[in-house]
Structure 1
Amino acid sequence: MLSPFEQFLSALPTHVVLEALADKSSIIPLNLSLTNTALQTVDLSSSKALEAYIWSEMARQQAKVAVGGYLEHRGLYRRSTYFKPLDVDTERNIHLGLDVWTAVDTPVLAPLKGSIHSFNNNTNHGDYGPTLILKHKIEGFEFYTLYGHLSLASMSSWRVGEAVNQGQQIGSLGAAEVNGDYPPHLHFQIIRAIQDFKGDYPGVSNLKDIAFYKENCPNPNLLLDI
């Protein structure tokens, strides 16, 4: 059963966050979880190897975009010390956002009106790279949306407090060299309470904290409807 906030999100009229998402026939689901045995032959420590796998899946299914990741248990974070320690309860390997994988430099659009809350270049290995957070106040609800793995060029147009219109371009997808060492993609996440974070918010949880994050970061597809 959906909470009142989740019902509100699912009822909002939104703009696509990437133009390619308007054509749902060009989208495929992508499983990067520990249950995907095909990943056993992929060197997940290499962004190039992971990119080759993702792009081959899109080519095989004649797609332009691959989407997935909410609450996936992933093994690919083990390549980075940023996500350790490695034990069952505290290893951060549960993904809290929705990933949209497509070509580098693809424009990213605001799905809702809002304002720029904060931004930062999060440069840890495996982190977001350039990251933007928008603040929204709609129908009595206040919440935030996070856009991770953007380009360095995107940051030049951001100003804290500046209004953002629905459908406005807010950035573009970054290459592996700047986006935390991943194939080009958007990490999109909804955040109910931002706490004291600015330009950053956990995008991966451990088992110990997952109940909190599931409530504070509901399924982004309630909003995007991909």
Structure 2
Amino acid sequence: MSSKDQLLTYLKAYPNAVGKVVDYTPGTDKLYSFDFTASNAELGIDVISDSGKFSAWVCDKLNSGYYKYGIGGYMEHRTIYARSTHFDTSDEPRRLHLGIDIWGNTGTPVYSPLDGVIHSFQDNDSFGDYGPTIILLHNLDGLALYSLYGHLSRENLDGLTLGQKISKNQQIATFGNVNENGNWPPHLHFQLMFDMEGKAGDYPGVAKFSEKEMWLKNIPDPNLILRF
């Protein structure tokens, strides 16, 4: 049985084992679906390369219909990564988004949706990167599942220890501001992985589009947990 099949089996057997990642009430809270692909003509390089303009654009979209969060992008082929050389490579720029973004206000609480422990944490402090990042390890009936939380507040890393126990629905962080979260409009990058491949405090959240099938094997759809 593949890791993805094991995860689906676990979620079906234990539906109440999954808590929340952010505060969200289905049927009441509205979600805005962002499009960060080339088809979105509103997002020119003049907007995405300026963190202030980009933040204002995101804020306007959320305020336009009283949306609690903006949602974007599992395996979305994005153009917004042209804003930073962090995503450039010698042959093919990284443009495939591997997680789901939850766009909202600075200070929005972030929770662990499952019991687990702190696997690692790190401030990935460069323009366009994750900024402060926490990675948790969850044991689901023998299946190792890692969850990554990027673009957090820097103070969220204070006092953390490797192996620290974390409970379902325990607040672990908040959305960081643009000056500490990798220079992005406030949001959470939430991602799941079966294998950390020896990495700690960081794991790719954006990859080459040509390698999509490879990444799908290790990175399941975060909405299996988010349930938006």
Length-normalised TM-score, structure 2: 0.91
> Secondary structure of 1:146's match?
strand
Query: In 2, are the aligned partners of 1:6 and 1:222 still within 8 Å (CA)?
Result: no
Report what 1:120 is aligned to.
122
Deviation at 1:224, TM superposition (A): 0.9
Corresponding position: 1:109 with 2:111: yes
Whole-angstrom CA distance in 2 between matches of 1:129 and 1:174: 8
> Secondary structure of 1:170's match?
strand
Report what 2:201 is aligned to.
199
Deviation at 1:41, TM superposition (A): 7.9
Query: In 2, are the aligned partners of 1:136 and 1:143 still within 8 Å (CA)?
Result: yes
Report what 1:7 is aligned to.
8
Query: In 2, are the aligned partners of 1:9 and 1:223 still within 8 Å (CA)?
Result: no
Listed as ranges, the matches of 1:76-95 within 5 Å are: 76-85=80-89, 87=91, 90-95=92-97
> Secondary structure of 1:31's match?
coil
Deviation at 1:170, TM superposition (A): 0.5
> Secondary structure of 2:77's match?
coil
Query: In 1, are the aligned partners of 2:10 and 2:141 still within 8 Å (CA)?
Result: no
Deviation at 1:210, TM superposition (A): 1.8
1:53-81, Cα deviation, whole Å (9 max, x unpaired)? 11111111221211111111111111211
Report what 1:136 is aligned to.
138
> Secondary structure of 1:126's match?
coil
Whole-angstrom CA distance in 2 between matches of 1:198 and 1:33: 29
> Secondary structure of 2:58's match?
helix
Report what 2:152 is aligned to.
150
Segment of structure 1 superposing worse, 147-156 or 205-214: 205-214
Does the C-alpha gap of structure 1 residues 3 and 115 become closer, same or farther in structure 2, counting only changes over 3 Å? closer
Report what 2:66 is aligned to.
62
Does the C-alpha gap of structure 1 residues 126 and 8 become closer, same or farther in structure 2, counting only changes over 3 Å? farther
Q: 1:22 aligns with which of 18, 21, 25?
A: 25
Query: In 1, are the aligned partners of 2:79 and 2:95 still within 8 Å (CA)?
Result: yes
Whole-angstrom CA distance in 2 between matches of 1:198 and 1:130: 13
Query: In 2, are the aligned partners of 1:95 and 1:203 still within 8 Å (CA)?
Result: yes
Deviation at 1:10, TM superposition (A): 4.8
Once the two structures are aligned, what percentage of the paired residues are identical?
36
Whole-angstrom CA distance in 2 between matches of 1:207 and 1:17: 27
Which ranges in structure 2 are unaligned for 5 or more consecutive residues?
none
> Secondary structure of 1:209's match?
helix
Query: In 2, are the aligned partners of 1:16 and 1:22 still within 8 Å (CA)?
Result: no
1:38-97, Cα deviation, whole Å (9 max, x unpaired)? 22386110121111111111111221211111111111111211111375xx21000001
CA RMSD of aligned residues (A): 1.8
Letter in 1 for 2:120: S
Which ranges in structure 1 are unaligned for 5 or more consecutive residues?
none
Does the C-alpha gap of structure 1 residues 156 and 28 become closer, same or farther in structure 2, counting only changes over 3 Å? same
Deviation at 1:177, TM superposition (A): 0.6
1:9-31, Cα deviation, whole Å (9 max, x unpaired)? 65343212111x22453222111
Length-normalised TM-score, structure 1: 0.92
Aligned residues: 222
Q: 2:172 aligns with which of 164, 170, 173?
A: 170
Deviation at 1:212, TM superposition (A): 1.5
1:130-168, Cα deviation, whole Å (9 max, x unpaired)? 000000101221110000000011001321101000000
Report what 1:37 is aligned to.
41
